[in-house]
Structure 1
Amino acid sequence: MSIFERYLTLWVAICIVLGIAAGHFVPGFFQGLGALEYAKVNMPMAMLIWLMIIPMLVRIDFMSLRQVGAYWRGIGVTVFINWAIKPFSMALLGWLFVGWLFRPLLPEMQIDSYIAGLIILAAAPCTAMVFVWSNLVKGEPHFTLSQVALNDAIMVIAFAPIVGLLLGLSAIVVPWDTLLLSVGLYIVVPVVAAQVCRRWLLATGGIDAMNRVLAVLQPISIAALLLTLVMLFGFQGEQIIAQPTIILLLAVPILIQVYFNAGMAYLLNRASGEQHCVAGPSALIGASNFFELAVAAAIALFGFNSGAALATVVGVLVEVPVMLSVVWIVNRSKEWYDNGAAVRRNTKSRAAE
């Protein structure tokens, strides 16, 4: 894990301070950035998102989808959690906590927007950081790669319908043209560009050339993420200063959702007899979020000043400490996991083959 990844929460906290301060002292600058839009898409933000996402997607080999069948139990569990449970459980938690329990403590005009941001966050399964979490639990690397590739392929098709459905159920008006444009800009374009870049690099210089280019792009990707956060908090600063407890309140449903989905994925893998080296990354993939995409989609749909944008950024703020706690639980429970009846039975079956 790099220094940036290890201390992501610290960098986010620093960006919060810088963004709020910049938004207070030079508000005209942020207003000018916010006005640079085309078809409801902020162009500076779009460029930053591409710089964030494309280097991550270059690492993904979609040919690894051929290996999906080798880990069908873990793949099945993770797909089920990511697309049948996670967005819907987050919507339920959003309605329960933000729409009801915490409602008197939050700005009334932003309630629906906060819920929308939580839904968008949960509808985007993690892509890049998953490799870090998988490595920390000694996960099967081929499973992790094939699962991430499959999630990205599903995301192209399923992200917009699921977000649209849940926002509709929340009685939030869905700007379908903007939502579909966001999918094209922040999923389809980066995936295509990344795969074209990957194939060109491999064809001209092999894996070493690709790794050298990624080593150069990685700091740029990190800088783009940090600049995006500064911009977000530059627009959100006044609201946060007025009610700093908003971040803590929005973190509650996110925390519950992470532990619920990670726990369910872990237990389902154990019940199916999957190996621990697959169950660990399966649980982590089922719990973490592609927050770069979520932030971009929330801004495109609801704007910089929206509660939706703030809710997705809270997801960034809690990502590392929460996921590290899940890593700790997975590692500490390995002996218990391996003693499961289905796991022992399948282990004996594999040894006999």
Structure 2
Amino acid sequence: MSARLPRRAALRLARGLLLLGLAGCAGVGPQRLDLDQIGYADALGEGLKRQMLLNMVRLRYADVPTFLAVSQVISGYQLQTTATAGLNAYPNAAPGNYATVGGTVQYTTRPTFTLTPVTGQRFAQSYLRPLAPAELLSLAQSGAPVDLLFRLGVQSVNGLPNGATSGGRAQEASGGFLALMQALRQIQSAGAVNLRFERQQGGPRVFLLLDADHAPAATAVRQARQLLGVPPGTREVEVVYGRLPNGRAQVAVLTRSVLQILYELGGRIEVAEADVRRGETRPTDPGEGLIRIHQGDREPRDAYAAVPYRGRCFWVDAADYRSKGAFSFAYVLQVLAESGQGQPTPIVTIPAQ
């Protein structure tokens, strides 16, 4: 752009353009880093939530789940500014034409995203492999609700069955399993969940301390020991994978895989009656589940997570704290299963020029 201005105004404008260019070049890096760190973190989080919800819906309709990992994000920025100024002196200067000023500003952004499908051995190791009992207990010791973790990631404890979906029909958890979860939750609330780990060549071993001397949780500890069949005088038991224990001082935990967790949560998704009549899916069994996922023609604006599928919308209500908690911890278990299985860690590269 170019214009002819009075001398004082032109000089002021030229100085302003020069300062603007210098400030832009100096600030684009730090400013964009702050904005991109928050922006990409939010976008990645929302995308992963939607992908997990979509897989729940697809499993609800006997469809194939898909997992796509974000392996790299490259976002490049370039800011170019130029400014020119000229002064017309006597005798060439005419009244009202003492100076000329011109300048250009160019801003360019080129984001690039690399997405990697999770297939083959990585898929089997991450989503078909049952979770290790030590992984669940480690999360519980870190403060995650032990009852919610077990309701999500466990099929049974010492033969006490959790709620499950079999043949499209939901089966409620046994009374013994629910009583054990309540006792473990009370023990955790009292800060009395104690674990001991042993690292061996065949894998880590984990032991659960069940000491009734802890006053705030003494009653809950005694109840847990009774439900687990712990012999009198045994202070700690080894937690092993399986349906039933092999020894007297063991607790057998039959865990689920990530795909099983998504299938179980998807089993309680609300579906349209027309879809059931056409045989696309089974009706939703009544009863209270860990999560409630709605369906309709259009999702609300403030949905916690929402996805379209076959002309319908499915979403988790933002005001449903219980469902959001179950959804979030299911995602944590998925991340835990993916860790150490060769999953690419997202790399964000932001070059600024």
More helix, by proportion: 1
Task: Give the TM-score range, shorter chain.
Answer: under 0.3
Q: Which has the larger radius of gyration?
A: 2
Structure scoring higher RCO (CA < 8 A, sep ≥ 6) equals 1
The TM-score, its normalising length taken from structure 1, stands at 0.23
The TM-score, its normalising length taken from structure 2, stands at 0.23
